[in-house]
Amino acid sequence: MTEQKFTARVVTHIGVEEGAEPEVPFYEIEAVRAKEFIPVAKENLMGLISRGTDDVTIPIFNWAQRNSPYPLHIGLACCAIEFASAFGARWDGERYGILPRSSPRQADVLIVNGTVTWKLAHKIITLWEQMLEPKWAIAMGNCATGGGPFRTAYSVVPGVDKLVPVDVYIAGCPPRPEAMLDGVLRLERLIRERRG
């Protein structure tokens, strides 16, 4: 029996074999980007801002806000676990620019999930009023959207839209993490179409 030689094929993270030169080296891509793309983009943006019209500045702010929603999370029941798992390794909600905040003064999206009781209602209203304009609200799960299985109880608010104006409703009991991410993407489409 003859001895066979096996050579390991080592591939780097960009798909180029170790020792082989990539087709376009990374430093050349960065040089082209710094020399051509960045100055042109900067010039176009400064030209739009210098005009000073609302037709230009509102789309720029809409673009910035829709690509980086900062949600304030009010997790009251089992939907909070689904919200947390949306930022785990599998779904990685931060790749969409979603960065949860713990202060209402730094957040622009209120995400309420779980059973809201009348005893807690004034706290939710206070948090909503502390958020800066423009702000949006998402009701996540059946309990937040309409009271869920507890809607006939005397102590349960039949939907958080009785307290704050809700922009996006996410159904489910509890909704899956991808449903929550889809709800945020729907909100981003609403922000894109905002006028004023």
Summarised one tens digit per residue, pLDDT across range 119-153 is: 988 999 999 999 888 889 999 988 888 888 888 88
- Confirm whether 99 is domain-assigned: yes
- Confirm whether 112 is domain-assigned: yes
Task: Count up the domains in the chain and report the number.
Answer: 1
* Residue span of the structural domain in which 161 resides: 69-192
- The band of 169, judged by pLDDT with boundaries at 50, 70 and 90, is very high
What is the domain-level CATH number for residue 116?
Answer: 3.40.50.12280
- Confirm whether 40 is domain-assigned: no
Q: What pLDDT score was predicted for residue 110?
A: 92
- Confirm whether 12 is domain-assigned: no
- Confirm whether 132 is domain-assigned: yes
Q: What pLDDT score was predicted for residue 37?
A: 63
- Confirm whether 85 is domain-assigned: yes
Dihedral over alpha carbons 73, 157, 135, 87 (to 10 degrees)? 20
Instruction: Give the model confidence (pLDDT) of 23-73 as tens digits.
Output: 545 555 556 656 666 677 677 667 766 666 555 556 667 677 777 888 888
- The band of 98, judged by pLDDT with boundaries at 50, 70 and 90, is confident
- Confirm whether 56 is domain-assigned: no
Percentage of the chain with pLDDT > 90?
Answer: 11
Q: What pLDDT score was predicted for residue 165?
A: 92
- Confirm whether 35 is domain-assigned: no
Give pTM, 2 decimals: 0.68
